[in-house]
């Protein structure tokens, strides 16, 4: 007979009074795995070793206070993600405010209703799951972006720099925080369609023929097809960036020949970030351009390739953009050219 693993969430309950521990045991034991600590000092070790999903925490304890326990958890990168619910007899408004200030996610006063305790615990564990799903989704998106870069003999730093440059430009253009964050996370997906381009074309060392260029240009549509159609949000912006980052302000771009503001601002921003970073980065087939030369091209193409208002904003924020280039500089030499195998 094989015993199945207990996959229930684990809760570290911290209180110095046995009656409170017993009450919480009675309320939570049927739904969760429980670990108990009778004072603040003894709570810190299981917080590391047992990896709890949530900590109900008393404040008034004989050694260190619950506030100090919470501050210690939030200082440690290994435990700062764990939500802390204060359950205490301290009912003053200032005490409650301090609980939130030190990092608590909720504050209940004793005697706490068992039904309320159970409901709050369930709610905060649900929020943890939502955060984990969001983080996993973002990591998958970033990894897919890196996959496209590696197929194109890049190091992967290009998509990271593009994300940060796009965020700077999005903020400067007045996009709201949610739109800026979506653009930041969508930018790595701009060339995901290159996964669908044959190596004989994508990795060709010499100039592409007109027929090969036609194949190469399909990567924008392939990217949009991979990412799919979605309601407004991150995936919608990612698809938008993939299919429009090669459109040009004067309508001479591809795949649809959009012009001016018919090109979504996400695509217009990604286009500038992509070109500037590519020009100023060393590649196996070219030396890096100087910043001055790259800015000269952006100015020359303002109103042609690029949105002129965004070029102006780009130049105004150039010091911050160059800081991104320095922070996320290539840590390894560009990958050597590898000709496609037959």
Minimal CA–CA distance to 267: which of 228, 239, 295? 239
Read off the pLDDT band of 331 (50, 70, 90). low
* Tokens found for residue 43: 């709570």
Looking at the predicted structure, is the pLDDT value of residue 7 above 80?
Answer: no
CATH number at residue 188: 1.10.3210.10
Q: Give me the domain span that covers residue 90.
A: 10-129
State whether 158 and 229 are in the same domain: yes
Query: Cα(153)–Cα(282) distance, rounded to whole angstroms?
Result: 12
Q: Are residues 68 and 165 in the same domain?
A: no
Percent of the chain exceeding pLDDT 70 equals 86
What's the whole-number mean pLDDT along residues 186-204?
88
Query: Does residue 302 share a domain with residue 184?
Result: yes
pLDDT at position 286: 78
For residues 181 and 227, membership in a common domain is answered with yes
142, part of any domain: no
> Mean pLDDT over residues 184-197, rounded?
89
Q: pLDDT grade, residue 2 (50/70/90)?
A: very low
Is 169 in the same domain as 279? Answer: yes
Residues 307 and 258 in one domain: yes
**pLDDT per residue as tens digits for the range 17-74:** 998 999 999 999 999 999 999 998 999 999 999 889 999 999 999 889 999 999 999 9
Mean pLDDT of the chain: 87
Please state the domain count of the chain: 2
Pairing mode, strands 10-14 and 106-109: unpaired
pLDDT band, very low/low/confident/very high, at 4 (cuts 50, 70, 90)? very low
Residues with Cβ < 8 Å from 155, sequence gap 6 or more? 149, 330, 331, 332, 334, 335
Q: Are 299 and 275 in contact (CB under 8 A)?
A: no
Residue 3 has pLDDT above 80, yes or no: no
Highest averaged pLDDT of the listed ranges 110-119, 145-154, 184-193, 309-318:
309-318
The answer to whether position 80 is within a domain reads: yes
The answer to whether residue 173 sits within a structural domain is: yes
In a domain, 59, yes or no: yes
Structure confidence by residue, pLDDT tens digits, 166-176: 999 999 999 99
Write down the H helix ranges in the chain.
Answer: 18-28, 40-49, 66-75, 93-101, 114-151, 157-172, 177-186, 199-202, 210-217, 219-227, 234-244, 265-279, 291-300, 308-316, 318-327
**Do 228 and 121 belong to one domain?**
no
What tokens were used for 250? 């004067």
Cβ atoms of 245 and 220 closer than 8 Å: yes
pLDDT band at 127 (very low <50, low <70, confident <90, very high): confident
- Whether residue 225 lies inside any domain: the answer is yes
Say if 2 falls within a structural domain.
no
Nearest to 78 by CA among 56, 104, 54, 51: 51
Among 91-95, 139-143, 199-203, 228-232, whose mean pLDDT is lowest? 139-143
Distance from CA of residue 28 to its chain's centroid? 33
Among 8-17, 148-157, 296-305, the least confident range: 148-157
**Confidence tier at 230 by pLDDT (50, 70, 90):** confident
Q: Which two tokens stand for residue 259?
A: 């012009």
- Strand pairing partners for 10? 33
DSSP character string of 230-298: -SSSHHHHHHHHHHHTT--TTS--SSS---GGGS-HHHHHHHHHHHHHHHTS-BTTBPPPPHHHHHHHH
Q: Is 69 exposed, middle or buried (0-12, 13-18, 19+ CB in 10 A)?
A: buried
Residues 210 and 293 in one domain: yes
Which tens digit of pLDDT belongs to each residue from 129-142? 766 666 666 666 66
Q: Is residue 202 part of a domain?
A: yes
The reply to whether 124 and 196 lie within a common domain is no
Span 75-114, pLDDT tens digits: 998 898 899 999 999 989 999 999 999 999 999 998 888 9
The answer on 167 and 99 residing in a single domain is: no
Q: Give the C-alpha separation, 47 to 251, whole Å.
A: 58
| pLDDT recorded at residue 68 | 95
Is the pLDDT confidence value at 1 over 50? no
């Amino acid at each position: 007979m094989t015993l199945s693993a207990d996959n229930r969430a684990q809760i570290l309950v911290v209180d110095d009074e046995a009656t409170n521990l017993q009450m919480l045991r009675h309320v939570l034991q049927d739904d969760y795995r429980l670990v108990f600590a009778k004072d603040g000092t003894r709570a810190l070790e299981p917080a590391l070793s047992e990896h709890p999903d949530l900590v109900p925490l008393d404040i008034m304890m004989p050694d260190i206070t619950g506030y100090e326990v919470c501050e210690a958890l939030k200082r440690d990168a290994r435990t700062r993600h764990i939500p802390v619910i204060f359950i205490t007899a301290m009912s003053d408004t200032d005490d409650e405010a301090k609980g939130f200030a030190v990092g608590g996610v909720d504050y209940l006063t004793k005697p706490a209703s068992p039904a309320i305790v159970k409901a709050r615990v369930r709610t905060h564990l649900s929020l943890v799951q939502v955060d984990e799903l969001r983080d996993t989704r973002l990591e998958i998106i970033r990894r897919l972006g890196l996959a496209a870069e590696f197929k194109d003999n890049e190091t992967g730093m290009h998509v990271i720099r593009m994300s940060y440059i796009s965020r700077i430009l999005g903020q400067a253009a007045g996009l709201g925080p949610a739109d800026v964050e979506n653009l930041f996370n969508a930018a790595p997906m701009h060339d995901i369609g290159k996964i669908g381009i044959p190596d004989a074309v994508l990795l060709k060392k010499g100039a592409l023929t007109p027929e090969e260029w036609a194949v190469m240009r399909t990567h924008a549509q392939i990217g949009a097809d991979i990412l799919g159609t979605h309601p407004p949000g991150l995936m919608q912006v990612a698809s938008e960036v993939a299919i429009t980052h090669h459109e040009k302000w004067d309508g001479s771009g591809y795949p649809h020949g959009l012009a001016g503001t018919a090109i979504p601002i996400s695509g217009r921003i990604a286009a500038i970030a992509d070109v500037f970073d590519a020009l100023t980065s060393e590649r196996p087939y070219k030396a890096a351009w100087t910043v001055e030369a790259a800015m000269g091209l952006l100015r020359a193409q303002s109103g042609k390739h690029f949105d002129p208002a965004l070029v102006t904003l780009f130049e105004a924020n150039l010091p911050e953009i160059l800081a991104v280039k320095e922070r996320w500089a290539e840590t390894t030499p560009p990958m050597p050219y590898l000709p496609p195998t037959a």
